[in-house]
Amino acid sequence: MPWLPKRFNLLSSEEIRLLTEVGFLAAGRGDVMRAERIFGALQRLRPQRAFAPIGLSVAYMNAGRHDEAAGILAHAAAQVEPAEQAELDAFRGLALQLAGRSSESVRALKSAGENHLAHTMLGLCTSESAETICKGSS
């Protein structure tokens, strides 16, 4: 919100965390309508963070709308902090895999670097050589 001072926060970190948990409860049930409301508000409050588009994409994936989930994550890539890009790419890889777009999924997962989800989906965490990476990644 450009008219607010930079240090002004509408919600505390604890309130953001609580809303995120509620959003993921809706996402887990595939409740896209509620997830859109919650994660849409969180996206406006923290546009540079990955948790809102990831949460919304999980709702779409659980509702069977995999292509839309991948699109949400692709669109969010331009706004998310570089430090959170790998997590976004890993979830985009998951959405693309569920959508049956395997080659695109592999590319997204490989671009996620050492992200644990990406390594697991690529089958790297089952080998001993990747054990250190997979245990140390989040």
For residue 64, count CB atoms less than 10 angstroms from its CB and return exposed for 0-12, middle for 13-18, buried for 19 or more.
Answer: exposed
Q: What is the mean pLDDT of residues 31-49?
A: 95
Q: What confidence tier does 124 reach under pLDDT thresholds 50, 70, 90?
A: low
Number of domains forming the structure of the chain: 1
pLDDT at 132 > cutoff 80: no
Considering the domain boundaries, does residue 126 fall inside one? no
The pLDDT confidence band at residue 130, using thresholds 50, 70 and 90, is: very low
Q: Please name the residue that has the structure tokens 């809706």.
A: 26
* Mean pLDDT confidence for 26-31: 96
CATH of the domain at 97: 1.25.40.10
Global pTM reads 0.81
**Is 55 inside a domain boundary?**
yes
Q: Answer whether residue 78 is part of any domain.
A: yes
Per-residue pLDDT at 103 exceeds 70: yes
Question: Which helix H or strand E contains 73, and what residues bound it?
Answer: helix 66-76
Is 34 inside any structural domain? Answer: yes
Look at residue 45 and tell me if it is in a domain: yes
Give the chain's radius of gyration (CA, Å): 16
pLDDT at 126 over 60: no
Residue 23 pLDDT more than 60?
Answer: yes
Q: Is residue 23 assigned to a domain?
A: yes
- List pLDDT tens digits, range 59-92: 999 999 999 999 999 999 999 999 999 999 999 9
Please report whether residue 102 resides in a domain: yes
- Asked if residue 123 is part of any domain, the answer here is no
Query: Which one, of 96, 138, 132, lies nearest residue 117 by Cα?
Result: 138
Residue span of the structural domain in which 54 resides: 13-113
Q: What single-letter amino acid sits at 97?
A: Q
